[in-house]
Structure 1
Amino acid sequence: MKTTTAAGLASGLAPARAATPADPDRIRAENRRTGTRDWINTNVRVDPKTNYRSPGIEGYASQASVRPGETISFHVSTNPASRFTIELYRMGFYQGCGARLVEKLGSFPGRVQPDPEIGPMRLRECLWEPCVSVKIPDDWVSGVYLGKLKAEREGLESYVVFVVRDDRKADYLFQVSDNTWNAYNRWPSQFALYDDGKKNWYWGPDVQTSFDRPYGKYCQIFDVPLSVGSGEWLLWEFPLSFWMEEQGYDVTYISNIDTHLDPAGLRRAKGWISIGHDEYWSLEMFENMKKARDDGLNLAFLSGNSICGVVDVHPSSDGRPGRIIERVGRFGSPRKEELEKGFPEEGLFKKNGPNEATLMGAQSTYPVTGGGDWICRKPDHWLFAGSGMKAGDAIGGLVGWEWHGEPWDIPGLEVVASGPTTSPRGEGVYTATIYPGPKDNFVFNASTIWWATGLSSPPGFVMPDVYTRPKGVDPRVQKITANLLERLRGTV
């Protein structure tokens, strides 16, 4: 692989391309290659003054998603100045190690890069000089890639994260939820979409956040400093990828930004998967996905609080598409309970979207947060075949910490699991749903951020624990997911 120091950045995502031929053995062949656990951070120092950033070494990538043949740049700051290296890993199963080293870059002469000024709408957009640009080789398999940054001076570490995508036909599109990673990223200190300079958890308009900054320490639920720089990938999403690649499923990966910019690319798969905390969507994403559903794509929302906040997507100051998001509305319009019980700023929105339940089958409802057991309501449904689950059987702690309820009136919609949720904010009722699409396809909604905790516990994964605690790997979740995936690719 050729690496060169770059004075400029790649111009952004390439235009939509025709789908390339399928390669159903690609993931199996990739995971036969030698893995390593060296990707796991062991020496992270979070600045106690900010509680989020790791100034010893921190960085970001110039694109959220990049194709083979395109160029991605890495932008790194070290304080104090220190030479550093970047080790690039593709995440997967790899004999249970979780990743494979694909390239080591450097060392590079690190320096303190300037903190960005606070721009309009509290935007913090780093304009750091790149240390290196990499043209992605043709043989790099689509996946989520972590760049492990390591400063030579004290051995301090952090990550950068990006998706390598392709254009091949595949059974499954795995969409990471990186709009939401960006929305909750408080780097350098209190500069998420939730920070208006006055309120700690603001939920209104006139705030922007940029992908052109490091991902700080995760700011909700639990303290996971070793994941610094990786967004929410290691928290809720990696266990699904780890398990799917262990099983050899034909999966390829995309970013939220790909769903926004490349609707044609959605047509190359049989099934599409949302995972984890997929809260922030643009109206273009919603329309692109609705059209893909109507054209016959199968959809699975293995996620919670999904399609809740409406964002506009803007280019960076130097013109790269998809680098800034701005919350402008609420899918389904603001709920009365939310306006009255904690989020009055929603009343200021001027660009609300359609109800998310018209696509997912259910929606985020107050109190939004909470935990509970995932309780079977339709044991004779094909979803539960071979799982051994009977009506009323529960998978403990699988629902959390945000979920969907109030199923929409869609012909043929079934509630396959439902039950109560509890949290200090109040009680709720979640509903996991499935409904038929117009072309013998379907849409499944698991109604929980924590679905993947029942599939695997890969290296580097930390179990969440708030309101309730998932019980970990469960053969019933694995069987239900296997049934779902077979239907998604149309083999049943």
Structure 2
Amino acid sequence: MNQLPNRRQLLTLAAASGASLLLPPHASHAASSSAVLKAENARPGTQQWMLSKTRIDPDTKYRCPWIEGYVSHASIMAGETLQVMVSTDPVSEFTIEFYRLGYYGGDGGRLVHTTETLQGSAQAMPKVGLRRLQNCQWPASFELRIPEDWVSGVYVGKLTELNEGLQSYVIFIVRDTRESELVFQCSDHTWQAYNRWPSQFSLYDNGKNPWHWGNESQVSFNRPYGKYSQISDAPLSIGSGEFFLWEFPFVYWLEREGYDVTYISNTDLHRDAKQPLRGDGFLSVGHDEYWTIEMFRNLQAAIAEGVSVGFFSGNAVCGRIEWDDETRSLRRVGVFGPPGGTREFSSMSSLKHERPYANELIGAHSTGPVTGGADWICSKPDHWLYAGTQMKLGDSIPGVIGWEWHGDPADIPGLEIVARGPTQTAPGELNGGEYTATVYPGPKNNFVFNAATCWWADGLSEPPGYVRPKVYTAPQGPDARIQQITRNVLNRMRQT
């Protein structure tokens, strides 16, 4: 029996004949091969992108006042101008080295621009605003028009003050408009939610409770990222949010494997429903907790149009937020889950719990007791997900699930639970939770995969500077089975 050509083959035929095909908006991705990223990653890399001398003010626990900064755009296009706002206290000259992050022969980054020596100054702290908003209004210390040849990706500016050589980062995403195999969404809303700069001013701190889960706080991108505040001692997080903790190992592996990827921020999905349509597959990676209703509806619409989605993330689409353009800030206003569905945080009861629920998008969602760890336990070995892994029913991969996870699978026609197991507070100490990794079919031969963990990327690669997490349980690093499952998901995306 002859097989019908897929979208990729149709495009090849159309190009050869000069024909124009009426395909869905996301159907022409075969026309852009992985050549762009392969050529980029063939360029000389360096490990000099890593911070080599860091210091944190013990009075604040999170900030590096000697040199710190933020940028005007979380996501920016070639041809647009990036402003970098920097404070040096005490006053110092400084430099900025810009790097694109990827594979680059194992080095993890490529130097793309170096500034001349710049004059720093100590910038004023912002007044504490409504809902404890910290909205810095520092003048630009440096401006850069993004060159046309900067390939979409995650970029850092390494700031170095010249009094002592202390360093921190600024971080931003360069996006493009091209069609690609995969659209990688960075979880920067969540990076900012956990950012406690300058001391205790995260989305979680209302001035009384440092882990408040109500609507009394608001956080802005107009401020530096402090050192990551939660479960890891990660010096490379100074100025870079959570990217190096949960997302970089996935990026490093994707670009090593030669996948064609384009990168966006959470806010790009919020503003533009067409963003997911540029890819055969859309990826949510790491800790992707905070979504607007616009993000939810835009991705839901993309699934209806035939885009496949991989939630290689945990605690995803949990906190419902509102975005404010004027202050570049977000505020928690609800929960994408049922009342009582998350047992651990009592202050959640002050927020709206109304449909849509996250499991109606993801397949499963955050549920009590939210945190914990577990092994990945195979529950459906004959599923295409496990092709080439040799895994059998009940086989497990140690420590993959953590530190937040998804359970409570939705009643979606065709949904399959591909891995499940009890969660624990420590090895052998069950906490009453059960995670469920799921796959459900979309309407156009597409699908949605849910890995149900923040730590999936740990099983893919271990790039330079990476710090392995350990709380409740611990992932064990690169694993051939995790890598093959990921290939199965991504390759199936490319074929649909």
Q: TM-score, normalised by structure 2?
A: 0.92
Q: Which residue of 2 aligns with 1:413?
A: 415
**1:378 partner SS:** coil
Match of 1:92 among 85, 92, 102: 102
Q: Which residue of 1 aligns with 2:446?
A: 441
Counterpart-to-counterpart distance in 2, 1:316 and 1:211 = 11
Alignment of 1:455-474 (within 5 A): 455-474=460-479
Counterpart-to-counterpart distance in 2, 1:182 and 1:330 = 18
The Cα offsets for residues 34-81 of structure 1, whole Å up to 9 and x where unpaired, read as: 000001111110010010111111101111100111111100101111
Alignment of 1:334-483 (within 5 A): 334-335=339-340, 338=343, 342-350=344-352, 352-423=354-425, 426-483=431-488
Distance 1:138 1:336, change over 3 A: closer
**2:143 partner SS:** strand
Q: Which residue of 2 aligns with 1:127?
A: 137
Q: Which residue of 1 aligns with 2:293?
A: 283
Give, in angstroms, the shift of residue 190 of structure 1: 0.6
Give, in angstroms, the shift of residue 225 of structure 1: 2.3
Counterpart-to-counterpart distance in 2, 1:21 and 1:108 = 43
For 2:80, the aligned partner's letter is: E
Counterpart-to-counterpart distance in 1, 2:84 and 2:321 = 26
Give, in angstroms, the shift of residue 265 of structure 1: 2.2
Counterpart-to-counterpart distance in 2, 1:162 and 1:182 = 13
1:181 and 2:183 aligned: no
Give, in angstroms, the shift of residue 426 of structure 1: 2.6
For 1:297, the aligned partner's letter is: V
Q: Which stretch of structure 1 is more off in the superposition, 342-351 or 37-46?
A: 342-351
Alignment of 1:30-429 (within 5 A): 30-317=40-327, 323-335=328-340, 338=343, 342-350=344-352, 352-423=354-425, 426-429=431-434
Counterpart-to-counterpart distance in 2, 1:344 and 1:98 = 41
Aligned residues: 466
Q: TM-score, normalised by structure 1?
A: 0.92
Confirm or deny: 8 A CA contact 1:54 1:216 kept in the other structure.
Answer: yes
Percent of aligned pairs with the same amino acid: 55
Q: Which residue of 2 aligns with 1:15?
A: none
Counterpart-to-counterpart distance in 2, 1:337 and 1:388 = 35
Counterpart-to-counterpart distance in 2, 1:452 and 1:265 = 23
Q: Which stretch of structure 1 is more off in the superposition, 205-214 or 176-185?
A: 205-214
**1:150 partner SS:** strand
Counterpart-to-counterpart distance in 1, 2:212 and 2:476 = 32
Give, in angstroms, the shift of residue 134 of structure 1: 1.1
Give, in angstroms, the shift of residue 199 of structure 1: 0.6
Runs of 4+ aligned structure 1 residues displaced above 4 Å come to 18-21, 350-353
Counterpart-to-counterpart distance in 2, 1:413 and 1:226 = 39
Counterpart-to-counterpart distance in 1, 2:275 and 2:309 = 15
Confirm or deny: 8 A CA contact 1:221 1:466 kept in the other structure.
Answer: yes
For 2:93, the aligned partner's letter is: R
**2:69 partner SS:** strand
Distance 1:72 1:230, change over 3 A: same
Counterpart-to-counterpart distance in 1, 2:51 and 2:354 = 40
Distance 1:21 1:314, change over 3 A: farther
Confirm or deny: 8 A CA contact 2:414 2:441 kept in the other structure.
Answer: yes
Give, in angstroms, the shift of residue 19 of structure 1: 9.9
**1:237 partner SS:** helix
Distance 1:68 1:23, change over 3 A: farther
Counterpart-to-counterpart distance in 2, 1:146 and 1:390 = 42
Counterpart-to-counterpart distance in 1, 2:29 and 2:375 = 41
Counterpart-to-counterpart distance in 2, 1:349 and 1:404 = 20
Counterpart-to-counterpart distance in 1, 2:42 and 2:189 = 32
Counterpart-to-counterpart distance in 2, 1:86 and 1:34 = 19
Give, in angstroms, the shift of residue 343 of structure 1: 2.5
Give, in angstroms, the shift of residue 336 of structure 1: 5.6
Confirm or deny: 8 A CA contact 2:73 2:172 kept in the other structure.
Answer: yes
For 1:277, the aligned partner's letter is: H
Query: Pairwise CA RMSD of aligned residues?
Result: 1.6
